[in-house]
Structure 1
């Protein structure tokens, strides 16, 4: 627990997917009581509830049990319908965990106290998260909810801060570029080396050095860009395009990324 005046909270958790499966145990480890897990998928909800002391699984149509905070760890698109379908207690603190969803989503439910608790991290089954390193961003409709959520966030991580919906949207966009798109490109790289009968492990040292170098770069990662695009190495670019002939979508993506790198570097686009 990272705050000296820690106050344990009763928490209701909606969702049983990747985020909920990471947040629920973290809350329990921090000393909070997760009183229920509610989900449209009974099996995962029951499995997650079984991992949390004193927690029960609820069917999706059930009225929520009393709690100090209700966390909506569900896909962004499911939040509005969940808000509308749930019989919330008057004055309930209802909080979503989404990066791109504004606080204004709670405007349709004036009887609840809306808030946001956004963990800037990627979650996958089997991966252990060090919550002390995870930035948590708070937004709330009123000062009381803000203070409550800030205390909750600080019980999980010392890296808790306020952030409004516009800033959070841009941070989420940057996170998608840095994490999700990077992961996709690594998947393409893994497929390409596998098609050539090679091991993806050959690229591990390069990937680690690329990430470490980009994180340390000043004033930005653009300053340490390398490769045939920034060198304007037309023969190599053409050879790579030819090698991607069996994957025309990837070939187009390669061309688009090459053009973006060259535009950022102020170079003319390759023919």
Structure 2
């Protein structure tokens, strides 16, 4: 048990190293740019880049090949991406249909909708969704899950990697640093607020939802050999739908069913938790009956 706890803490140490380095680098960049307002965004982006780059020394240390992370050969990987994207559409589209039917989502009539605007939002959202999916899946369902799975039971590896995945989505703060308060410690002040945000009770519903999202993707990764392409495609499909939903619809804050979504992205909440939890349970029941 102590061994498992020790291995589960290693990703936290890597995260602390990445965020601390990002704070220092962001401070130096802001000094050159003379724009403290960009500090928070810089820390976030640099942390993401550093976490992605940390995959390579970790692979060397653990003697992993790309196949160990879940990457298949290129033709299969490229085939998995649209397959995963389709899975993402199938698994999340019912959520948006329910939210629209219940009046939680209402069409945003304030924008001058036309084919050009829709096409622009569709393409930009898709590109951003793919970028997010590649980074997060490579880190969480790739390196982190593979590393944990090597040293502990697969169920524990799935739960721990999914908890880190959920927590990272709340590693943020809305505080802005004014020019007169800006110094080398400013980034670490923001970092402290960001870590405190993870344990904010207001985020509990969204955290559980994202935990189940991570478990769903981790199950997909562990049940299908070299399936990181499926995970990336599925994740991209989800993110794309969320971004398009937020562009086209507004959330009715007076809806009696508002509790079904979280305040973070107006999607991931109890409804997603129940739906994906049901899908995960259904898969294992089907697998057991089939065997």
State the TM-score, normalizing by the size of structure 1. 0.26
| Greater share of strand | 1
Larger RCO (CA within 8 A; separation ≥ 6): 2
| Greater share of helix | 2
State the TM-score, normalizing by the size of structure 2. 0.24
